[in-house]
Amino acid sequence: MKLIVKVFPEITIKSRPVRMRFIRQLAKNIRAVLRDLDPAVVVNGVWDNLELETRVTEPRALKEMTERLSCMPGIAHFLQVDEYPLGDFDDIVAKCKQHYGDALAGKIFSVRCKRGGHHTFSSMDVEKYVGSQLRRQCGAAGISLKEPEIEVRIEIRDQRLYVIHSQHNSIGGYPLGALEQTLVLMSGGFDSTVAAYQIMRRGLMSHFCFFNLGGRAHELGVMEVAHFIWKKYGSSQRVLFVSVPFEEVLGEILGKVDNSHMGVVLKRMMLRAASKIADRLDIDALVTGEAISQVSSQTLPNLSLIDCVTEKLVLRPLIASHKQDIIDLANEIGTADFAKHMPEYCGVISVNPKTHAKRNRVEYEEQQFDMAVLERALENAKLVPIDRVIDELGQDLQIEEVSEALAGQIIIDIRHPDAAEDEPLELAGIEVQTMPFYALNARFKELDPTRQYLLYCDKGVMSRLHAHHLLSEGHANVRVYRPS
User: Which residues of the chain form CATH 3.40.50.620?
Assistant: 181-387
pLDDT of residue 436: 85
Give the closest residue to 483 by CA, choosing from 396, 424, 425, 410: 425
Could you give phi then psi for residue 165, rounded to 5 degrees?
-95, -45
Angle, helix 215-229 to helix 190-201, in steps of 10 degrees: 30
| 200, 73 contact by CB (below 8 A) | yes
- If DSSP codes are grouped into helix, strand and coil, which group holds residue 315? strand
pLDDT of residue 167: 92
Give the closest residue to 444 by CA, choosing from 426, 425, 470: 470
Contact residues for 366 (Cβ-Cβ < 8 A; gap 6+): 257, 265, 268
The structure's pTM equals 0.83
CATH class for the domain made up of 181-387 = alpha beta
Q: Which residue(s) pair with 169 in the sheet?
A: 77
| 327, 355 contact by CB (below 8 A) | no
**How far is the C-alpha of 419 from the C-alpha of 415, rounded, in Å?**
6
For the question of residue 457 being annotated catalytic, the response is yes
pLDDT of residue 394: 60
Annotated binding site for ATP: 185-186, 267, 289, 298
| 432, 411 contact by CB (below 8 A) | yes
**How far is the C-alpha of 356 from the C-alpha of 406, rounded, in Å?**
61
Maximum pairwise Cα distance, the chain: 87
Single-letter amino acid code for the residue at 16:
R
Given CA atoms 412, 385, 174, 222 in this order, what sign does their dihedral have? Answer: positive
Kindly report the CATH number that applies to the domain delimited by 2-169. Answer: 3.30.2130.30
| 438, 465 contact by CB (below 8 A) | no
Q: What would the DSSP string read from start to end of 97-122? A: HHHHHHHHTT-EEEEEEEEES--SS-
User: Which residues of the chain form CATH 3.30.2130.30?
Assistant: 2-169
pLDDT of residue 346: 44
Number of Cβ within 10 Å of residue 3's Cβ equals 22
Q: Per-residue b/e over 54-76, b at no fewer than 16 CB within 10 Å?
A: bebeeeeebebbbebbebbbbbb
pLDDT tens string, the chain, 484 residues long: the values are 899 999 999 999 999 999 999 999 999 999 999 999 999 999 988 677 899 999 888 888 999 999 999 999 999 999 999 999 999 999 999 999 999 988 999 999 999 999 988 999 999 999 999 999 999 999 999 999 989 999 999 999 899 999 999 999 999 999 999 999 999 999 989 999 999 999 999 999 999 999 998 777 778 889 989 999 999 999 999 999 999 999 899 888 888 888 889 889 999 999 999 999 999 999 999 999 999 988 888 899 999 999 999 999 999 999 999 999 999 999 999 999 888 877 655 445 566 788 888 999 999 999 989 999 999 999 999 999 998 887 766 655 678 889 888 888 999 999 878 778 888 888 888 899 998 887 787 788 889 989 999 999 887 777 887 888 888 778 889 999 988 7
Topology adopted by domain 397-481: Oxidized Rhodanese; domain 1 (3.40.250)
| 7, 203 contact by CB (below 8 A) | no
Contact residues for 286 (Cβ-Cβ < 8 A; gap 6+): 182, 183, 184, 185, 271, 274, 275, 278, 310, 312, 313, 314, 315
How many CA atoms within 13 Å lie on the side-chain side of 348? 30
Torsion of CA 65, 66, 67, 70, to 10 degrees: 120
**How far is the C-alpha of 178 from the C-alpha of 65, rounded, in Å?**
22
Catalytic residue among 113, 138, 209, 457: 457
Could you give phi then psi for residue 109, rounded to 5 degrees?
-140, 175
Give the pairing of strands 382-385 and 313-315. unpaired
Annotated binding site: 185-186, 267, 289, 298
Q: Which helix (H) or strand (E) holds 151?
A: strand 150-157
| Direct distance between the N- and C-terminal alpha carbons of the chain, in angstroms, rounded to an integer | 36
pLDDT of residue 347: 47
Q: Which helix (H) or strand (E) holds 438?
A: helix 437-443
User: Which residues of the chain form CATH 3.40.250.10?
Assistant: 397-481
Given CA atoms 401, 405, 406, 408 in this order, what sign does their dihedral have? Answer: positive
Give the pairing of strands 150-157 and 108-116. parallel
